[in-house]
Amino acid sequence: MTTAVLPQLPADADDLSVWPASTTRLPDGGLAVAGVALAETAERFGTPVYLLDEGEIRARCRMYRDAFPDADVLYAAKAFLSRAMVRWVDEEGLGLDVCSAGELELAVTAGFPPDQIVLHGNAKSPHDMEAALRLGVGRIVIDSPSEIARLASAVGPKGHQKVMVRVVPGISAGGHEKIRTGTDGQKFGLSLTDGSAQHAIARIIGQPQLQLTGLHCHIGSQITSVKPYLAALRRVVGLMARIRDTHGVVLPELDMGGGHGIAYRPGEPALDLTALARRLRTELIESCAAAGLTVPRLIIEPGRAVAGPAGIALYRVLAVKRTGGQVFVAVDGGMSDNPRPALYGVRYAPRLIGRRPDTATCRATVVGRHCEAGDILASDVPLPADVRPGDLLAVPVAGAYQLSMASGYNLVGRPPVVAVHEGRARLLVRRESLDDFRSRDVGF
C-alpha cells in the first residue's frame, strides 16, 4: 500500500513564530535555542527531555510587568514549577499563585517570600491549610462555605489571615469545556447567581480573625478574546458595590485570574496582552466610577503565557508504521509526559531536527509509546516523507501543563528538565528512574 506524499512543504512547515525568540536555524537543518543546539542537548541528556529557555521566561515576566505596571502579577505555579523557576519569577518581580502545600513549600524553601504568595484550590486539605498558616502565606482564596469555619478554627481566636473569595460570574470562556471555570455547575468557586458568594462573604465578614481583602475570579484557560474578561469584571465589580452597600466594607483587591491563551501552532490566535491590560484597566475605572467605588488593586495570574512558549519537548523516533493509508510515527515519550492531547485534544506542530530531509512531506500522526489508543501527541501533521527510527522530533510550546501533569504510567519515568541560557545548558530536574519507583514501593 502506498501513502500519499505531498511534493512541497506546507507554508508553515518552517515557521518559527511559536518558538522562543532566541531560536536560530543551523546549517545541518537543526535548530538552536539560546545558543544551544537541540540535537546536542538530546545527545547529552537523552530523550525525552524538556528544554526551558530561561531568557524567554524572564522576558515574558517583564512583558507582564510592563503591561500591568499598576497591578500585582502572580505566576500560576501549576503551569510548571521548579526551584529555578521560583528564582526566575522572584527576580523578575512577580508574585506566586499556588494550589497545594507541595507547591507552597517548594517555593518558600527555594527562597520565595511567602507574603507574596496566594493559595487557592477547590478542596484544600488540612495539610494545605496548616502549611499556609505556618509559612505565612499572603492570601488564602476561599472556594467553598465549609472552608470558612475550618480556616477560622485553624487560625485561632488570636490569629489573623487575609482571605479572598472565589466568585463564579456566569461567564463561559476557555479553549475546551474541561478548562472553563467561569460558569455555574462546575466545581470551582461560589456562584453569583444562586447567592452562594454573597452568603459566604457575609460569614467571612463575621469572622474577626479573617480579613476579607478582595474577590477572586478565574473564568477559564486558553482564552484568546478580551471580551469575557471585561464581562466578568463588570459582574464582580457589581458584587463589590453590593458588599459595600450591605456590609459597609470596601474591598481593596480584585484578582481576575489568568487563562491567557497562547498559540501552539503557527497562525493560531493568542490573547493580545496589550489590549487586555488597556481594556481591563479602562473597564475597571469606569465600572468603579459608575458604582461610586474606590478602584481596587488589580491582580492577574498568568501561568501558561509565561512558561508555555519557553518550553520545547524533544523525542526520539522509535518506529514508523505505514498502515491503512496512514503514517504513524512512534516516539519514546507520550501521554506519561504530556497528557494534554488526550485530555483536551490539544494540537502541536512537531519538527524534525538535526538532519536535512527530502523536500517531500507526508501527513503523519505522532504517537506515544504507551498502551493506550489515545496516546497521541500530534495528529495529521506534516513531517518529512523519509522520517525514520532514530530521528529527533522537537515540539515547541511545551513549557506549561506537560511535565506538571506527567504521570508514572507504564513506569516509563518522567523526563528531565534542562535550562538553556546564553549558550549553556544545565539540568534543573533530573530524569525519574527505576530506582525512584523502587524506593517508593515498600510493600515487598
Read out DSSP for 366-404?
Answer: EE-SSS-TT-EEEEEEEEETT--TT-EEEEES-SSSSGG
Q: Are residues 193 and 300 in the same domain?
A: yes
Q: Does 9 fall in a domain?
A: no
pLDDT band with cut points at 50, 70 and 90 for residue 185: low
- pTM for this structure? 0.92
Cα-based distances in Å from 326 to 195, 242, 364, 379, 381: 53, 59, 7, 11, 11
Tens digits of residue pLDDT in 91-129:
999 999 999 999 999 999 999 999 999 999 988 999 999
Average pLDDT, the chain: 91
Q: Are residues 230 and 261 in the same domain?
A: yes
Q: Are residues 210 and 248 in the same domain?
A: yes
Q: Does 334 fall in a domain?
A: yes
Tens digits of residue pLDDT in 68-94:
999 999 999 999 999 999 999 999 999
Tens digits of residue pLDDT in 259-290:
999 999 999 999 999 999 999 999 999 999 99
Tens digits of residue pLDDT in 28-52:
889 999 999 999 999 999 999 999 9
pLDDT over 60 at 7, yes or no: no
Could you give the CA distance from residue 356 to residue 384 in angstroms, rounded to a whole number? 9
Q: Are residues 280 and 426 in the same domain?
A: no
The last residue of one of the domains, among 264, 283, 308, is 308
pLDDT value, residue 186: 66
Q: Which residue, among 329, 229, 340, 331, has the nearest Cα to 281 in the 3D structure?
A: 229
Q: Which residue, among 64, 135, 57, 56, has the nearest Cα to 298 in the 3D structure?
A: 64
Q: Are residues 138 and 263 in the same domain?
A: yes
pLDDT band with cut points at 50, 70 and 90 for residue 12: low
Angle 145-155/196-205 helices, nearest 10 degrees?
20
Q: Does 112 fall in a domain?
A: yes
The H or E element spanning position 89 is helix 83-91
Q: Alpha-carbon dihedral of residues 420, 395, 77, 339, nearest 10 degrees?
A: -140
Could you give the CA distance from residue 433 to residue 92 in angstroms, rounded to a whole number? 33
Q: Are residues 300 and 339 in the same domain?
A: no
Domain that holds residue 353: 24-51+310-440
According to DSSP, the β-strands at 31-33 and 36-37 are antiparallel
pLDDT over 70 at 182, yes or no: no
Q: Are residues 60 and 202 in the same domain?
A: yes
Cα 416 → chain centroid:
18
Q: Which residue, among 60, 96, 92, 68, has the nearest Cα to 81 in the 3D structure?
A: 96
pLDDT value, residue 324: 86
Angle 273-291/227-247 helices, nearest 10 degrees?
30
Question: What is the end-to-end Cα distance of the chain in Å, rounded?
Answer: 50
Which residue has 549553556 as its cell numbers?
Answer: 424
Q: Are residues 317 and 269 in the same domain?
A: no
Q: Does 107 fall in a domain?
A: yes
Q: Are residues 249 and 163 in the same domain?
A: yes
The last residue of one of the domains, among 243, 274, 308, is 308
Could you give the CA distance from residue 265 to residue 221 in angstroms, rounded to a whole number? 17
CATH of the domain at 397: 2.40.37.10
Q: Average pLDDT for residues 356-363, to the nearest whole number? A: 83
Backbone angles phi, psi at 107, to 5 degrees: -65, -45
pLDDT value, residue 177: 54
Tens digits of residue pLDDT in 321-347:
999 889 999 999 999 999 999 888 888
pLDDT over 80 at 357, yes or no: no
pLDDT value, residue 8: 45
Question: How many distinct structural domains can be found in the chain?
Answer: 2
Q: What order do you get walking across the sheet with 36-37 strand by strand?
A: 24-25, 31-33, 36-37
For the annotated catalytic residues, the residue numbers are 371
Q: Are residues 346 and 227 in the same domain?
A: no
CATH of the domain at 136: 3.20.20.10
Q: Does 360 fall in a domain?
A: yes
According to DSSP, the β-strands at 139-142 and 311-323 are unpaired
Q: Does 260 fall in a domain?
A: yes
Q: Does 13 fall in a domain?
A: no
Task: Give the list of residues 6+ apart from residue 190 with CB closer than 8 angstroms, or none.
Answer: 142, 143, 144, 145, 165, 166, 167, 168, 196, 197, 200
pLDDT value, residue 375: 93
Phi-psi region of 216 (alpha: psi -120 to 50; beta: other; left: phi over 0): beta
Q: Does 8 fall in a domain?
A: no
The residue among 207 and 10 whose pLDDT is bigger is 207
Could you give the CA distance from residue 435 to residue 312 in angstroms, rounded to a whole number? 26
Q: Are residues 386 and 282 in the same domain?
A: no
Q: Are residues 160 and 186 in the same domain?
A: yes
CA atoms within 13 A on the CB side of 342: 18
Could you give the CA distance from residue 326 to residue 329 in angstroms, rounded to a whole number? 10
The last residue of one of the domains, among 308, 334, 350, is 308
